[in-house]
Amino acid sequence: MVSPVGAFAAPVITDAAGLGVLVAALGVDGRRVIGPVCRDGAVVYEPVTKLSDLPLGVIDEQDAGVYRLKKTGDSRYFAHAVGPQSWKRYLFPPRQSLWSARRRGKGFEIVKDTPAPAPEYVFLGVRACELAAINIHDRVFDNGDFADPGYLARRGRALIVAVNCTRAGGSCFCASMNCGPRAEQGYDLALTEIVGDGGLRILIETGSERGAAIMAGFEAPLADKSDLAAARDAVRIAEEGMGRKMSQGARKALGKSLDDPRWDEIAMRCLSCANCTLVCPTCFCTSTKDLTSLDGKTAERQRVWDSCFTLDFSYIHGGSIRRGTAARYRQWITHKLVHWHEQFGMSGCTGCGRCITWCPVGIDITQEARVITESFVKGG
């Protein structure tokens, strides 16, 4: 468990050049740095080896069904919000081999492959809402009754460099979910960009012994009270600029409104494309696929990402349990905002807003929750 803020070293202040030194230091000793880069018109998480790989002066304009990158004169490297990818693709890969087999005579034998060591990732630029999502997966994949060894191996070696948001995207609502925009715990290092008359300054806070070990060789002056105050002010701007918020009574209302006519109205717009679940940092539905070579000599079973929005996901003998789009959307939103509390003691939504931005018809989870909540309050 990573310790709270300030438990290991005093915060320091640096500049863009110092950030470049830090990026280089993160990539030594076989560590693989993954961070935000611009590709195909979006900010995605891919390998980073130097400071110039990061999206300098890039912001994203986000709204329901809208995502555009815009180049500005901003001096920040993390002025954008979250993009279509989340860190789960590295901790919980979209496709994972469970076992393989090869033909032997008239039968077959299971191939006992020695698994490769888990990569030692450094996640650079993890937002508070994404830290919350990783914390949720920690409970999902090690819940006391079940543990996923692959996830735990990758998670145990991952080093997290968080970034406190100083700008909110139009679809963000993490503040209303108590998941940001400031990272309070769960990181090894945390960065806050401060823009002032002197240019870009970056506050670096240490949250673990591993983070302290990296900072041991990093030369930078200690942050003073004015630096800390400027960092707080920068994060407050992001909190006040949230494009949306979740209704406070949504959990109770959604759980008791399973027959609300709004579900059918949503279904008229929903394409059941599963975009919302694929971009969600906490969704973890999977299915298995068996693959056989064309010559019939080898076979493999894989675990692959799936979605509760697909008709086949709830298929059992006799047909699918949730045949209609309304039932599938209701399953998704009530699981996130209601039943997740019963399973894991927390909400399954962290307010990142990805499902809003990447819905091709612009369905907004906060709006739908608000409409159903208001209807429930009036009817109650």
CA angle 237, 204, 26 (to 5 degrees): 125
pLDDT score at 7: 57
Whether the Cβ atoms of residue 136 and residue 87 lie closer than 8 Å to each other:
no
How many other C-beta atoms are found inside a 10 Å radius of the C-beta of residue 224?
11
**Is 242 strand, coil or helix?**
coil
Domain identity same for 103 and 133: yes
Domain identity same for 231 and 259: no
Domain boundary among 240, 265, 291: 240
Q: What are phi and psi of 310, to 5 degrees?
A: -85, 145
121 within a domain of the structure (yes/no):
yes
275 within a domain of the structure (yes/no):
yes
**Residue 87 pLDDT exceeds 60:** yes
Whether the Cβ atoms of residue 199 and residue 9 lie closer than 8 Å to each other:
no
Domain boundary among 222, 240, 258: 240
Domain boundary among 240, 264, 285: 240
Domain identity same for 173 and 51: yes
**Residue 217 pLDDT exceeds 50:** yes
**Residue 190 pLDDT exceeds 90:** yes
pLDDT score at 311: 85
Domain identity same for 270 and 308: yes
Mark out the alpha helices in 171-300 (DSSP H runs).
Answer: 209-215, 225-240, 250-255, 262-269, 275-279
Domain identity same for 85 and 182: yes
Q: How many structural domains does the chain have?
A: 2
**Residue 3 pLDDT exceeds 50:** no
Stretch 329-341: mean pLDDT: 95
pLDDT score at 380: 60
Give percent of the chain with pLDDT exceeding 90: 83
Identify the bridge partners of residue 261 per DSSP, sorted by sequence position: none
Domain encompassing residue 68: 12-240
More confident residue, 131 or 319: 131
Domain identity same for 61 and 173: yes
Per residue in 304-317, is it b (16+ CB within 10 Å) or e — as a string? ebbbbbbeebeeee
Binned at pLDDT 50, 70 and 90, residue 69 comes out as: very high
Identify the bridge partners of residue 142 per DSSP, sorted by sequence position: 147
**CA pseudo-torsion sign 304, 364, 246, 353:** positive
Domain identity same for 263 and 368: yes
Q: pLDDT for 220-276, tens place per residue?
A: 999 999 999 999 999 999 999 998 999 999 999 999 999 999 999 999 999 999 999
Whether the Cβ atoms of residue 236 and residue 24 lie closer than 8 Å to each other:
no
d(CA 182, CA 239) in angstroms, rounded, equals: 9
359 within a domain of the structure (yes/no):
yes
Whether the Cβ atoms of residue 128 and residue 118 lie closer than 8 Å to each other:
no
Domain identity same for 75 and 173: yes
Stretch 198-208: mean pLDDT: 94
2 within a domain of the structure (yes/no):
no
101, burial (CB in 10 Å: exposed 0-12, middle 13-18, buried 19+): middle
Domain identity same for 260 and 169: no
pLDDT score at 2: 40
d(CA 26, CA 217) in angstroms, rounded, equals: 11
Domain identity same for 40 and 179: yes
pLDDT score at 338: 96
How many other C-beta atoms are found inside a 10 Å radius of the C-beta of residue 293?
11
Domain identity same for 235 and 348: no
Q: Mean pLDDT score of the chain, rounded to an integer?
A: 93
363 within a domain of the structure (yes/no):
yes
More confident residue, 106 or 24: 24
**DSSP E strands, 276-343:** 286-292, 298-305, 315-316, 319-320
Stretch 136-153: mean pLDDT: 91
Domain identity same for 143 and 24: yes
pLDDT score at 343: 86
357 within a domain of the structure (yes/no):
yes
179 within a domain of the structure (yes/no):
yes
**Residue 1 pLDDT exceeds 50:** no
**Residue 5 pLDDT exceeds 50:** no
Binned at pLDDT 50, 70 and 90, residue 91 comes out as: very high
4 within a domain of the structure (yes/no):
no
Stretch 84-105: mean pLDDT: 94
Those residues with Cβ within 8 angstroms of residue 128's Cβ, 6 or more apart along the chain or in another chain: 162, 164, 165, 174, 179, 180, 181, 182, 183, 184
